[in-house]
């Protein structure tokens, strides 16, 4: 079968992958569409170290083909969006409703794929850049069959991360002020999360002026090419500043833009060894810096919620899909993403 394989040097489309049948507590899914996220690019450029060879992709949707023993919440023929959380469901963190903190869901890559008889790793417990994949049952979340799969795919990462960071982690409240640094796929979802939460002023910051129209469509009340102008809009600073780029200098800017009792939420992914600096004295007015993994999400709860928000028109999904590409055009999709030409490019099978 076809899939996108990274061998440590090159990422390319191959057509000789194999995937095993689902075991107990697992689901096999025929992937219809998968979004290209910067996390996939970060594996290719080494920002995210990962064992190779590996099948990339982690933001997908498709149709259940088969289920293993003990799986009852989905059945063959169901449409599903996939999460990256292969959490155990039984540890203290899972029991407290914090599946993103499950230690069994972090850094334990499986190898359900093979090529020429040799095992191939699975990225983010998902590998959505393949015609078929096998995931833990908890990762397959049933969605309405009328939800377009190319749009539904984006729920599994961009929406869970961006909207989730606003609603679950920062807990933005009605009337709050928000600054979003970086308006790529994650940033746009932070913007619409802030809109859904009822934020009063939402300032989008991006050096690419071509992104203004999309930023405003998703929820920005102001658009700036530089964070230097934020204080002209919010003289005392913002209640919430989301850093969605992963640049350590922007982390410092996020802290500097906070009002009293404000919080900086870090969503961008810098290199593992990167370090950021800030003035500790700036934090004494009850300011805080928050990390956020995967929008502090509970996918089995949040994905159906977001699907319903889409159906009511509150959550924009179709508008996130700038371009669709047959999987064979993976290289073009990568180039468009790196050049900032798309909010989200989606590979189709």
Question: Does the pLDDT at position 42 exceed 70?
Answer: yes
Average pLDDT of 277-303? 94
201, 242, 304, 338 from 175: Cα distances, Å:
8, 17, 26, 35
Q: What is the mean pLDDT of the chain?
A: 95
Percent of the chain with pLDDT over 90: 91
Report d(CA 193, CA 166) in Å as an integer.
Answer: 6
Confidence at 343, pLDDT banded by 50, 70, 90 = confident
Q: Which residue has the higher pLDDT, 281 or 83?
A: 83
* 244-263 pLDDT tens trace: 999 999 999 999 999 999 99
Q: Examine the pLDDT at 282 and tell me if it is beyond 80.
A: yes
What is the rounded average pLDDT of the residues 191-218? 97
Cis-peptide into 53, omega within 30 deg: yes
CB atoms within 10 A of CB 185: 26
Give 8-48 as a DSSP string.
SS-EEEES-EEEPPP-TTEEEEEEEEEEE-HHHHHHHHTSS
What is the pLDDT averaged over residues 111-115? 97
Query: Exposure string (b/e) for 51-73, b if CB count within 10 Å is 16 or more?
Result: eebbbbbbbbbbebbbbbeebee
Q: Which helix (H) or strand (E) holds 132?
A: strand 132-136
Sheet holding 177-181, edge to edge: 222-224, 201-205, 177-181, 238-243, 258-266, 288-291
Residue 112 near residue 123 (C-beta atoms within 8 A): no
Distance CA 80, CA 54 (A): 23
Closest CA to 158 of 204, 218, 94, 221: 218
Position 107 pLDDT exceeds 80: no
């Amino acid at each position: 079968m076809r899939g996108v394989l990274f061998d440590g040097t090159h990422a390319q489309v191959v057509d000789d992958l194999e995937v095993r049948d689902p075991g107990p507590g697992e689901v096999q899914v025929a992937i219809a569409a998968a979004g290209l996220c910067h996390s996939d690019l970060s594996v290719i450029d080494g920002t995210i170290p990962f064992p190779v060879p590996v099948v990339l992709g982690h933001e997908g949707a498709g149709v259940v083909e088969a289920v293993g023993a003990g799986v009852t919440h989905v059945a063959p023929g169901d449409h599903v969006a996939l999460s990256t959380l292969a959490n155990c469901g039984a540890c203290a963190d899972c029991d407290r409703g914090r599946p993103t903190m499950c230690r069994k869901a972090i850094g334990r890559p499986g190898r359900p794929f093979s090529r020429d008889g040799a095992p191939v790793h699975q990225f983010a417990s998902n590998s959505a850049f393949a015609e078929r994949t096998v995931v833990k049952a908890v990762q397959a979340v049933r969605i309405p069959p009328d939800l377009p799969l190319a749009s539904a795919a984006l729920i599994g990462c961009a929406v869970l991360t961006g909207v989730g960071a606003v609603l679950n982690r920062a807990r933005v409240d009605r009337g709050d002020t928000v600054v979003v640094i970086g308006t790529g796929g994650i940033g746009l979802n932070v913007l619409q999360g802030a809109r859904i939460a009822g934020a009063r002023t939402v300032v989008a910051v991006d050096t690419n002026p071509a992104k203004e129209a999309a930023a405003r469509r998703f929820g920005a009340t102001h658009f700036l090419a530089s964070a230097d102008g934020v204080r002209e809009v919010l003289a005392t600073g913002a209640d919430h500043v989301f850093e969605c780029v992963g640049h350590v200098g922007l982390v410092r800017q996020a802290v500097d833009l906070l009002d009293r009792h404000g919080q900086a939420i870090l969503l961008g992914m810098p290199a593992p060894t990167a370090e950021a600096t800030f003035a500790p004295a700036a934090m004494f007015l009850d300011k805080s810096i928050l990390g956020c993994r995967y929008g502090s999400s509970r996918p089995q709860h949040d994905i159906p919620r977001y699907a319903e928000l889409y159906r009511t028109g509150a959550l924009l999904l179709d508008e996130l899909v700038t371009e669709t590409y047959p999987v064979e055009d993976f290289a073009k999709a990568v180039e468009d993403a790196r050049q900032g030409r798309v909010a989200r490019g989606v590979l189709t099978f």
